[in-house]
Amino acid sequence: MAKIRFDTLDPSSAPLVDASVTLIVNAFGDPERYSATRVARELQSDDPVFYRQFFVAMEAGEILAVGGVKAADWASKTHILYLSAVTPERRGKGIGRALIKARIEWLEKTFKSGRILVSAAKTRRFRDLGFVEIRNSSLDGRHLLLRRF
């Protein structure tokens, strides 16, 4: 597979924000929890302390993948991976994994130390990337995982 390049999402680019919102809303399929309004608000938030940073991969003007990372607002130096989506026809080819790696690299470059939290149904990819499962965290088939850096 050709190397996928992730760029940080420019929140002032309306077409890119719209494409990202559509991809996320369709991928999650839970309009109450992941409505277009809420997702757009997340993508465009510019709080300097409780930052949100999104990454996108594009190909020939089409969006392939989007994923976010944000500061937890209840603990310092704590970052949450969230809102990850790959376009349906390109899933299962490593783009999701590359998206996780891009965010870890950005965190390690941007902050001296910290901890990364993620909730996932499938844990192997995260364990391969240095995450450990938090004991007794499984609920409805999802697990919480943690990585220190």
**Which stretches of the chain bind ligand COA, using CB under 6 A?**
27-28, 67, 84-86, 91-97, 99-100, 120, 122, 124-125
For the bound state, the minimum distance from the C-beta of residue 103 to ligand COA, rounded and expressed in Å, comes to 9
Alpha-carbon Rg for the chain, nearest whole angstrom, is 15
**CB nearer ligand COA, residue 112 or residue 124:** 124
Q: b/e map of 122-143 (b: 16 or more CB within 10 Å)?
A: ebebbeeeebeeeeeeeeeeeb
Structure tokens at 81: 């991976």
Distances (CA, A) of 27 to 74, 75, 102, 141, 142: 28, 29, 20, 18, 17
Q: b/e map of 38-73 (b: 16 or more CB within 10 Å)?
A: ebbebbeeeeeeeebbbbbbbeeeebbbbbbbbbee
For the bound state, the minimum distance from the C-beta of residue 48 to ligand COA, rounded and expressed in Å, comes to 26
Return d(Cα 75, Cα 89) in angstroms, integer: 37
**CB nearer ligand COA, residue 30 or residue 46:** 30
For the bound state, the minimum distance from the C-beta of residue 95 to ligand COA, rounded and expressed in Å, comes to 4
**CB nearer ligand COA, residue 28 or residue 149:** 28
**CB nearer ligand COA, residue 38 or residue 97:** 97
For the bound state, the minimum distance from the C-beta of residue 112 to ligand COA, rounded and expressed in Å, comes to 25
Residue at shortest CB range from ligand COA = 96
For the bound state, the minimum distance from the C-beta of residue 29 to ligand COA, rounded and expressed in Å, comes to 8
**CB nearer ligand COA, residue 29 or residue 48:** 29
Name the amino acid, one letter, at 119.
S
